[in-house]
Amino acid sequence: MPIYLPLFWLAYTSNKKTNLSKRLVEEYSHKEVLSKTVEGLSRQIDEIDNEDISSELRIKLIYNILSASSENPGKLITDYNKADHPIIDAMDKSAQLATAVDKLSGIPGLSKVSKMMDARARHILKEKSLKVEEGLATLQGKGESASKEKAPTA
């Protein structure tokens, strides 16, 4: 158990960071393709003989490129200072579920559904808490048995 938990945590963390890295690469690749498209379209607009159509298309192109490129790929990196531990993620998600259930309970007719969802969320949270406590107890039990083995006998 002491060997598998750190390996599981390491795999979980590295997978999360790898997925984030891939998404950032995709976002920046999209922006690169977008800029090349704009360059090509602006050259084509310059070749149009009618000045009114050319200026109108240029304005539309600028508007569209600004709206498409205004999103910052860095927005994908939210809460970078939060822990990457799976148990903390599960607790955060159960807290978000509880908040959603509270919002649903205000809608008429959905109070029964929200009560069922709330009960389920509490059950999940209780299960996770018990697993954490069991894991800690196991680790503490192994620590105590190791210290008993090292203690000299009289």
Report the share of the chain in percent with pLDDT over 70.
65
Confidence category of residue 21, pLDDT binned at 50, 70, 90: confident
Whether 61 and 42 have beta carbons less than 8 Å apart is answered as: yes
Q: Indicate whether 6 belongs to any domain.
A: no
- For the chain, what is the domain count? 2
pLDDT tens digits, residue range 53-67? 888 888 888 888 888
Domain boundary residue, one of 50, 81, 112: 81
pLDDT of residue 154: 44
Q: Please count the other Cβ atoms lying within 10 Å of the Cβ belonging to residue 16.
A: 13
**49 and 110 fall within a common domain:** no
**58 and 98 fall within a common domain:** no
Q: Reply yes or no on whether the pLDDT at 107 is more than 60.
A: yes
> In which domain, by residue range, is 22 found?
18-81
- The stretch 109-133 carries a mean pLDDT of 76
pLDDT tens digits, residue range 74-105? 666 665 555 555 666 666 676 677 677 666 66
**118 and 72 fall within a common domain:** no
DSSP string, 87-144: HHHHHHHHHHHHHHHHHHHTSTT-HHHHHHHHHHHHHHHHHHHHHHHHHHHHHHHHHH
**74 and 89 fall within a common domain:** no
**74 and 98 fall within a common domain:** no
End-to-end, the C-alpha distance of the chain in Å comes to 33
